[in-house]
Structure formats: C-alpha cells, structure tokens
Amino acid sequence: MRQLGSLVRPILEFCAALGRRLHFLVTSLTLIPSTLARPRQFVEQLFYVGSVSVILIAVGGLFVGLVLALQFYTALSRFGATSSLGGLVALALLRELGPVLTALLFAGRAGTSLASELGLMRATRQIDAMEVMAVDPMRRVVAPRFLAGILAMPLLAAIFSAMGVLGSYLIGIKMMGLDPGVFWSSMRHEVRFHADLVNGMVKSLIFGVACSLISLYEGFHARPTAEGVGQATTRSVVISSMAILALDFLLTSFMY
C-alpha cells in the first residue's frame, strides 16, 4: 500500500495543480466583461505589456528575417529557385517563427515582468490588503493584465513578421540583387490569407492566453518572500516556454 501510495500521490498532485490553474483561467475569463466595462486599466496594461516588448520583438524579427533570407537564398541557389525566396520566408514567419518566437520573447520579457510584479504585491501584502478591504484582486489586478497579454501577443507577432519580411527584403533585393517584382509576387502567390495569416494570428492568440495565464498564476501564488518571487519568475519562463512549444505542435497538427 505504501508503494502504491507513492505512485498515486504524484498523479493526484498533478491533477490538483492542473485543477487550480484551470480554475484560475476560468475565473480570469469570466472577469473579462467587467474589465472591458472599465477600459482605463486595461488600456494602461496593454500599453505597458506591449511597449516593454516592442523594441525586443522588432529587433528580433529583423535579425530572424536576415538570417532566414541568407539561409534560404543559399539553399535555393543550388536549385536555381531564388525567385521563391520571398514566399518561403513569408510562410516560415507567418506560420511558425513569427508566433512561436514572439511568444518566447514575450514570456522572457513581459511574462517575467507580470510574474515579478504580482509576486512583489504578494510579498508586500498588497493583495492581502485588497482582500481585507473587500476588493477582489482577481478583478482589480489579474483580469486587466490577462486581457492585455492576450491582445498584445497578436500585435507583437504581426510586428515580428513584418520586421522579418523587411530583413529578407534587405538581404534578397539590396544585397543579393533579386528583382523586387519577383520577390513580392512570390510572396503574394505563396501566402494564403486563411491558411497562413489567420492561422498564425490564432496561434499567437492562444500563446498569449497561455503565457499570460502562467505568468499571472505563478506571480499571484508566489510565496511572500524574495526567494519565492524569484522562483515564481523563473517558473513562469520555464513553464511558458514548454507550453508554447507543446501548443505549437498540437496547433500545427490540427491546422496543417
């Protein structure tokens, strides 16, 4: 019985942790209408979550586009198919690299900021003070940040993909001397609105839900110590990164 208990206990603990996170998610989703009724807090958090990541996302997208164009041009030149460079880079960015890399960068920048902010509020007893004053911290603190993170992710993914296309344009046309008309016509011919653009936005939206949920949950339930805040911030990055990669596989298998 003791050995059986040692086998069953981790399963029960995992189910309990999953249930707590699902409850946190459902509560956050049900509070979104009340957040939209008071848009000032939501707009402030959207500006904060998005603005702290724009430069990182833009620079990351530019360099990813530069590298992709160099790699694809080298491979395509062996087969005399360099005219397909624009479409190939656009597909790689819109389908996979744009949403995934944006989510990973978001988790490392904005996600850690959200987790550490809520962790410090827990450590300094601000959340406890809200509960004492009959102010719902989920409604006041969590819901605006949760909605801001969800909506910021597709916007950041669009910026990442646009900067990546710009980087491929600089390499393909300005550096390698490809014809601009061929470059853009290849992109227009290969990229489909629903299969590529819309599905990429759906991916980024789901990644936004996952990253925001994990970061806010870890920060909200952090131990009220300096060590606890640091551990919550670290867990938010690690769990978010693994969740993004797992969700990307599942979404790709369903979409494509």
Q: Encode pLDDT of 155-188 as tens digits.
A: 999 999 999 999 999 988 888 888 888 888 888 8
How many percent of the chain have pLDDT more than 90?
A: 31
- Provide CB contacts within 8 A for 185, sequence distance 6+: 86
Give, in order, the Cα–Cα distances in Å from 43 to each of 46, 98, 142: 5, 24, 14
Say yes or no to pLDDT of 4 above 70. Answer: no
Tokens describing residue 102: 């944006």
- Provide CB contacts within 8 A for 15, sequence distance 6+: none
- What's the whole-model pTM score? 0.89
Residue 162 has a pLDDT of 93
CA end-to-end span of the chain? 47
Query: Could you read off the pLDDT of 44-70 as tens digits, one per residue?
Result: 888 888 887 889 999 999 999 999 999
Query: Could you read off the pLDDT of 200-220 as tens digits, one per residue?
Result: 899 999 999 999 999 999 999
State the pLDDT confidence band at 2, using cuts at 50, 70 and 90: low
Contact between 198 and 90 (Cβ < 8 Å): no
Rounded to an integer, the average pLDDT of 211-233 is 89
